[in-house]
Amino acid sequence: MAATEVSNVAAEILEATERLLAAIVRLVQSVDPLGEFVTSASEETRVWQRIEGRWKHVHFHRSPL
- Can you give the CATH number for the domain in which 59 is found? 3.10.450.50
Read off the pLDDT of residues 6-49 as tens digits, 9 standing for 90 and up: 999 999 999 888 999 999 999 999 999 999 999 999 999 999 99
Q: How many structural domains are present in the chain?
A: 1
Per-residue confidence (pLDDT) for residue 50, from 0 to 100: 94
Cα–Cα distance, 16 to 26 (Å, whole number): 29
Per-residue confidence (pLDDT) for residue 29, from 0 to 100: 96
- 3-class DSSP state of 5: strand
The DSSP bridge partners found for residue 27 are 5, 41
Given a cut of 80, whether residue 1 has pLDDT beyond it is no
Per-residue confidence (pLDDT) for residue 16, from 0 to 100: 86
- Residue 10's domain comprises 3-64
